[in-house]
Every structure is written in structure tokens, then in C-alpha cells.
Structure 1
């Protein structure tokens, strides 16, 4: 288990580590397919790779394959899956997790097919938390990790499943989407990879908030505005985005805050950008943020709606107390494939969010090992670094 160093079954380790990865809503995402694949697949691959003493190259291969399978499964039901109220990580995640775990266990194609067939019975996940809050979303990337690992274990012991689990009449695509696309599962497979469309988050809140947040920041800086200068803010998003992050105006828990564009802009107005320590009890009780949230309206923007789901952009219109109106559209927020974070920015994020867990030397050693992962002879060497220094074996 990362940081704590607890040794346990791969299912349990993957569950805990996936919760760590997704719990702050600070992980990867893919706008085109609406899922968080890395926070599912990497914990699975890391746990199983440590179990079987895999090499770095084997870890990379299993991770890449698991990511692509999960992303393609999510793409096959996008955007209907999320619109209907199912969260894509626990819906599509079991398939990718099964592939990653199965490859590391050396399963043959026939055996992998059975692992996939079994994994489909674990698919699920609801997004009612976007409407009324709650902390259960924190484990939505953890649930499919155990599903995939367990599906492989069951297949290795002889259990079988429906090989039409993805494309059958009662299979994944037809159950989780009104207008799903079985063709997307294999479209241009081998020449085009959805993994290239994955982005990283610059802020630890729902990705629908990132574009309007950056538009809002730009206008506040450019026009040298203070919160007291703002009479009204109008945020334009896709129809789904408006429901997803525009329903909760006054959050009562951290997750509610991370899905409230109104409250998040209230924080930003006073200089608080979403980071690892944001949405604390103190901030959630800050009357300034709530008062500003009441000045924020959320509506459907025709451009954002036309570009969704491939793009989660947004537009912000500020109206000042002296009657001026300013407007800014951001189509590609920082971290999207079209506006990617640089390598230094990615490692800067790593350093910021691990500063209380790792010392500088330890973080540098991890970075060096990750950069040279294909040459790593045993993943256990990397795992040993991912815990508190006091718990590490002496080198």
C-alpha cells in the first residue's frame, strides 16, 4: 500500500491505492470518453506486478493495454453512460483492470477473453453524488480494481463468462448506452490509440470546471477586478456539464465543492485555486465564497454543447457593478491533450502533492526510476520507494 507500506493482497492494495489516486479528483481524465483510466489501471498493474515480480517493461505493457481497453470500452458508451447516471470508471474499469492483471499473470488470449467476460458482471456505478454530494465517489476508481483482479483469479480457476459481454444484446454497450457504438471498441485498433487523448488535471475539481475557472481567472487578472467589483457571473457549459457541476451551489462537503462551479469560482475570486488542501471544512464554511456563489449563474452554451463530449470547454461572462461586461471562452484548459502540461509541470505537480510524504531525495529517485522504467529489472524496487522513508528497506 502506497505511503503506508502495508503489505496485503493485491486486491486490497489496488483498492487503497486507487482511492488515493482518485480521492482528491486530481488524477487523469479523458474528455472524449469521460473516464479516469489511470487511477484504475495503474494501481492494478503496480499491485499485480509487485506480486509476480514483473519487470518495468512488463508493467508498462500491461498498463498500456489495460488503459486502452478501458478507454475503448468507455468510448463505446460515451456520452450516454454518464448522461444516464453511470460513472464510467466503475462501469468500464473492470475490463481494463482484467486485461492489465491478466497480462501480468501470463494469461493466453483465450484466458484473457474469459477474464473480460467475467469482469463485465462487476460493471456499475452511479453519479448521484453530483447532485447531492457524499464521499462515495472517492472509491469509484477503486471498485473496478478489485473487480478486474478478481475476474482474473476466477478465470484462472475455471470460471467462464459470456464472450458476448461487450457487444451482446444484453452486453455492456447495449445496457450502458442508448446509442452505443460497438465499432468503437476496435476502430483503427493498432494505428490509433485513445490513450493519446488522456489529459492531466491542473486543479483538483471536476474537469467541467477547469475551462470556466481559467476563463474567470483571466478576466479577473486582465481587468484587475476584485470580488466586490463583480455583480454577476454567467458560466456557459454543455448541457451535461451544466447539470454535472451547476446543481450544487452551496456544498456541505468537499466532494460537493469539487462539483460546484459556483462555489469554486467563489474560492477563486478570493485567490484560492483548487489544490490538494482546498475544500477544507474552513473553506466550506467561508461566507465570502458562498455569497459569491450566489452571483454565479450556470447555463447551457450552444458552442460548448456542440463540441461536447470531445471537448469540455466553457465560456464566462462577467458583469461588473459599474455596468461593464467582459467575456472569455476557454476551449482547452491546461492539461488537456490540446493544451498539455509540460514535463516540468507534471513533475512540479508530483512534487507539490507529495511534499508531505516524500523527501526531495526520495522523490528524485522515483523520478529517475520512472523515466527509465523499461530497464527496471523488478517492479518491487519501485514499490519500495513509494512508502514513507522510515518504512523503506535500507539500500
Structure 2
């Protein structure tokens, strides 16, 4: 258990420890002493899911753009760009792998704090662990510490950060990335606090893509990876920042939220892990769509309905959810589709559930899906609004052409902490989405290593398996 360093009560002329100092102390302690078994189990699931997505999404158009950028940059180093096998500087490897990991809208999400933490912290931890030749245990602990710090930073500005138009991964991500990188580089609490103090100057990110699409969201988890790694590199070379970067008058919480909570940064630190509130995704679309998608599927199956039976669909979400996934009715690109509940229900009506290859050009041009999308109305639901942001549930009402009305509410979609994916389901997703990236022998070796990361003597052995077969060293 984390026990903050005992300090005497500050006098009138002294100040209390800044949140960055307390978080740095916490991160250093769990990196040194270990993490609870339940947290280790959760982090392992997140690593499995993220590695699968990095491999599976490594050849998408926006992923290829990130890879080409990194390759043409020409930096040298010992960190691996997954699937492609390029060895480069950890900053560039992390940037590419994070783009891959968020290359679809299929990666982990924490509803309570509204962010994608795995696709930020895990690429950083893996890249730096390769650089310093860390063990699997060190990778696990650094990942856990980075995730927890990033999640707490995001929680402190939730839900205002998204409501104001800032995306939480590039906003809060630099802090988690800096913690993971700093720990693996051997930074102590004071040095880690300075890395956090520098990292805050990189915070940013806009969510206009939810209104009109585009592929830039794919690098929103990559941008903070470079920020965190750079912050650590600069701190190691003597640069300093404001230790009140998180909780100061002009610090992160007060800038990114109208009604932020500085207390959330350290509340029950070490006794409650927000990591355990992170959910995995069973569907490749925005999490706001998952609950109404499952409600819609249930009603269509239970009542034996076909698309021509439906006159109207009403989807009830929180006010933010209604704007977030209800603004784009007729998407013209994959990201627009992943943020359109209307179009996604149109796909589902015809048996197409969002998976890795969904929202293809053919699907986006399918007039059946667009015609059905016109029958979907999105509104604010009082129950969903009251439960937001801790829960992203929704309610669906179907009205048939015969005048019948059916209604179903789903509060916890598959993959949420309240309705989690099992270990077998997580590995099933990994196997399904990586089937054309890894052969069966590779996948089996990856599974063996990740299931027992504490026993892994060098992360480099794992990274060597995460490239296409032709590039692997002979065994």
C-alpha cells in the first residue's frame, strides 16, 4: 500500500506538497515495491488488448502515414515499431505504435474519466523498456504507475475537458507517459516530479473530429507519448518546470476544466486504483454507441424484427453522448462512422456489427445503412444524463411500421468494468484481429510471455515476436 512520506504540518510560510510530488512519490513506491495482484491482472489484460491492436492496425492508411513519417525521420535506436520491425529511437517507436494502437476505435476506454490510457502508456513503456533492456516485471510496474497517473489527471478534469472540446488522451496523456518513461530510466521521486512539471506544457488536443470526421484522432494517443518521453529526457538534462503544474492556479486542472477537482488527483491514492475502472471494447466504435447497440440487437432478435419492420428508432443518451455520437448521420470516412450511432445501428440492422474491418468504403457507400440511419433519432435521456460520466448507458425505443413500441435500456455494455470481458474473451479478440499479422506459433509464444510477464527476463524477447514472421530472428 502507498503511504505518503510523513511530513510535519506546514507552517504559515510553507506550502503543502504539490500533487505532482505526491503522484511521483506514489509511482516510485509501487515501481519499487510492486502492485496488487488484482491490478496486475487488469494491466496484463490491457497490454494484451493493446499489443493486438497495434499489430492489427499497423497497415491502415493513417498508420502507414505515421510509420512513413517515423521511418523517413531516420532516427537510430533499439526500440521496435511493431509488425514492421523498424528499430528506432523510443520516441519514434512509441509514436508509431500508439497510432497503431488507436488506429481504430477499438482500444480501452475508462468511462469514469473519459480517456484512452492504454494506447498512450503501453507504447511508451514498451519502447523505453526495450531501450533500457528492462524485465517484464519492470514493464508491468511502470505501465501500472503511468496508467494510474494519467487516469487520475483525466479524472480531475472530467467531464469538463471533453465538454469544452479538449480530448483527454493528448491532454492528460503526457503525465502518464512521463511517469512510465521516467521510472524505466531510473528516476527517483524528485526527478519524476520534474518530468511531470515539464510534461504539462505539452497538454492539448481538440475533438472537432466528432463533428466532421477526419483521421487526425488516430494520433491523439501518439502525441502524448512523445511529450512524456521528451519531458523525461529534458528533466534528466536539468530542465525544470512548475511543480504546481497539475493543481496550481494556472495548472492543468484549472485550465482544462471549469469545475475540476484537484482532490481527485490523489484521493485514496494507493488504496483505490482507477485502472480497475478501465473497460475493454467488444465493438469497434465510440463507447457511447455500445449500450444502445446492445439494446438494439436484443430487441431486433427478441421480437424477430427485420429492417423493413422498423419505422423509427429513438436512442436516449446523456447530453454529451447525444452530441458526441449523434451529430454525424451520414459519415463519409471510417472515423465519422465510428462516431455515428445512426449509421452504426443501420449497419447492425443488416447484421454488420463493428469489428476491425468495419466502416469500409463499401459499407460507407451502402445505401441501406444510410436509409436506416435516417430513421434513427437521438435525444437526451434523463437517466443516462444522471448517471454520466460514471456510466455511459443508453436506452433504445423501437417503433414498428405496425405501430408497436419496444423499449430496452442497457446500463453496462460488454467490456465495461461492471460487465467485463473474461481473459479468454480478451485473448479471443487478440487472436481474431491478429490472425493475418502473426502465425499460430508466434501468437502462442506471445501469449505465453504476456501471461507470465513477471518471469520475463528481457522485454526485448517479447518485442522480437511482435513483428511479421519474415523479420523475426531465427530461434
Q: Under TM normalisation by the shorter chain, which class is it?
A: over 0.9
| Residue 289 of structure 1: aligned partner | 369
- How big is the shift at 1:190? 1.2
- How big is the shift at 1:212? 0.2
- How big is the shift at 1:121? 0.3
- How big is the shift at 1:389? 1.1
1:203-235 deviation line (CA, Å, top 9, x unaligned): 110000000000000000000100000000000
| Residue 352 of structure 1: aligned partner | 432
SS at match of 1:234: strand
CA distance in 1, matches of 2:306, 2:468: 42
Note the 1:294-309 alignment, pairs <5 A.
Answer: 294-309=374-389
SS at match of 1:385: coil
- How big is the shift at 1:102? 0.1
Q: How many residues end up aligned between the 2 structures?
A: 395
Unaligned stretches of 5+ in structure 2?
Answer: 1-80
Note the 1:37-186 alignment, pairs <5 A.
Answer: 37-186=117-266
CA distance in 2, matches of 1:330, 1:213: 9
- Normalised to the residue count of structure 1, the TM-score between the two structures is 1.00
- How big is the shift at 1:181? 0.4
Q: 2:406 aligns with which of 326, 329, 333?
A: 326
- How big is the shift at 1:80? 0.3
- How big is the shift at 1:352? 0.8
CA distance in 2, matches of 1:316, 1:361: 44
CA distance in 1, matches of 2:247, 2:272: 21
- How big is the shift at 1:193? 0.6
- How big is the shift at 1:23? 1.1
CA distance in 2, matches of 1:47, 1:192: 28
CA distance in 1, matches of 2:305, 2:357: 25
SS at match of 2:186: coil
- How big is the shift at 1:125? 0.2
CA distance in 1, matches of 2:435, 2:452: 22
| Residue 200 of structure 1: aligned partner | 280
- How big is the shift at 1:329? 0.3
1:33-76 deviation line (CA, Å, top 9, x unaligned): 00010110000000000000000001011000000000000000
SS at match of 2:329: coil
1:257-289 deviation line (CA, Å, top 9, x unaligned): 000000000000000000011000110000000
- How big is the shift at 1:108? 1.1
1:109-166 deviation line (CA, Å, top 9, x unaligned): 1110110000000000000000011110011000000000000001111111111100
SS at match of 2:311: strand
CA distance in 1, matches of 2:469, 2:248: 50
* RMSD over aligned Cα atoms: 0.4
SS at match of 1:29: coil
SS at match of 1:236: strand
Q: Does 1:389 pair with 2:451? A: no
Q: 1:7 aligns with which of 70, 76, 87?
A: 87
- How big is the shift at 1:376? 0.5
CA distance in 1, matches of 2:436, 2:167: 31
CA distance in 1, matches of 2:441, 2:395: 42
CA distance in 1, matches of 2:177, 2:462: 20
CA distance in 1, matches of 2:144, 2:181: 12
CA distance in 2, matches of 1:276, 1:192: 33
1:349-375 deviation line (CA, Å, top 9, x unaligned): 001110110011110110110011001
CA distance in 2, matches of 1:16, 1:327: 43
- How big is the shift at 1:84? 0.5
- Normalised to the residue count of structure 2, the TM-score between the two structures is 0.83
1:157-214 deviation line (CA, Å, top 9, x unaligned): 1111111100000000000000000000000001111001011000110000000000
Unaligned stretches of 5+ in structure 1?
Answer: none
CA distance in 2, matches of 1:44, 1:333: 29
CA distance in 1, matches of 2:274, 2:389: 14
CA distance in 1, matches of 2:203, 2:103: 20
CA distance in 2, matches of 1:168, 1:190: 23
Runs of 4+ aligned structure 1 residues displaced above 4 Å come to none
1:9-53 deviation line (CA, Å, top 9, x unaligned): 101100110111111111001000000101100000000000000
1:291-335 deviation line (CA, Å, top 9, x unaligned): 000000000000000000000000000000011000000000000
CA distance in 2, matches of 1:345, 1:222: 24
Q: Does 1:373 pair with 2:453? A: yes
SS at match of 1:316: strand
